[in-house]
Amino acid sequence: MLIIGGNEVSYGQESGEAGGYRGQMERELGARVDWTRVHFLGRLPYADYVKVIQISRCHIYLTVPFVLSWSLLEAMSMQATMVASDTAPVREVITHGETGLLVDFLSPEALARQVIDVLARPGDYVGLGPAARARVVRDHDFLTRRGPFTSRG
């Protein structure tokens, strides 16, 4: 498993735990995870980030009902097969079974089952990536979208 991103907070508030949210997660999961198979890549140059998304077979995006991160739209635009938390901001761009797969944020078991299924049967999910890209291009592409926030609107 590859985890991209720094340990500092970009949205919301600090963890307050030693080691931040990463440290909190590592303590909570403890020996239930084979940490030799988890690789924390930190913040990556954009070109490297793109390469990681492009080779990924499944992109997991979890967020609490707060804000939608640009990284979700980026991964969708690169046709990643998304498994994401079924929370309000995510439902704005992911429709379950059409542009990605939604799981209960508070159910790690449901998340694990869905990811395992995506990895075990990738052919069953092959249409999600292109549909996700189409949704992002249609609704969020700054170069082609007309509207109040574009110079061509």
pTM: 0.83
82-123: pLDDT as tens digits: 999 999 889 999 999 999 999 998 898 999 999 999 999 999
When the pLDDT of each residue in the chain is averaged and rounded to a whole number, the result is 87
**Phi and psi torsions of 63, nearest 5°:** -150, 150
pLDDT of residue 100: 97
**Phi and psi torsions of 101, nearest 5°:** -125, 130
**Phi and psi torsions of 118, nearest 5°:** -60, -45
Cα dist from 93 to 34, 69, 109, 118, 148, whole Å: 32, 11, 23, 20, 19
The number of residues in the chain equals: 153
Residue type present at position 8: E
